[in-house]
Amino acid sequence: MTANTSPKIHPPLAAALARGKIARKTMAAAEGGSITCQAAAKLLGISEASVVLRWRAYRIIGWKAGKALRIPVWQFHEGKLLKGMEEILQIFHSDDQWRIVRYFLGNRRSLANERPLDLLRRGKSATVIKHATDYSQDNEW
């Protein structure tokens, strides 16, 4: 292979990769977008290292953007995580950050076509925790 050629990607795979990139961009911008680790630390009143530790321990949602950690703002309310958020992240215990984001931002038929995020915002954390527990067992979330 020369410097000017790249490996050929099967067209359906290339299309799927392109759709995934668009979906990640859409999710990253949803509900106010994301903030830096430093901004999340300031919001929560903790150190940047503590934010990273919480992310690594499945206690806060975030994703890597290059070497930076981005934290979606929709998981916060009045300087705290939404009630139930940490418990749900512990239930899923997943390194697939985009799957986690998609769970919270997607309408769920099993939740009367509502989004888990909206239910948490309305104080219905017990409903979402039960849903997460039920669906994590079948890996259907």
| pLDDT tens-place string over residues 47-94 | 999 999 999 999 999 999 889 999 999 999 999 999 999 999 999 999
Is a pLDDT exceeding 60 seen at residue 108?
Answer: yes
Token representation of residue 129: 């925790």
Q: Domain extents for the chain? A: 26-137
pLDDT class for 11, splitting at 50, 70, 90? confident
Q: What is the pLDDT of residue 10?
A: 75
Instruction: Label residue 27 by pLDDT band (50, 70, 90).
Output: low
* Amino acid present at 29: A
Cα(33)–Cα(70) distance, rounded to whole angstroms? 9
The structure's pTM equals 0.80
Confidence category of residue 5, pLDDT binned at 50, 70, 90: low
Res 136: pLDDT: 86
Number of Cβ within 10 Å of residue 117's Cβ equals 21
SS3 letters for 21-39? HHHHHHHHHHHHCEEEHHH
Sign of CA dihedral 63, 65, 67, 71: negative
Contact between 70 and 35 under an 8 Å Cβ cutoff? The reply is yes
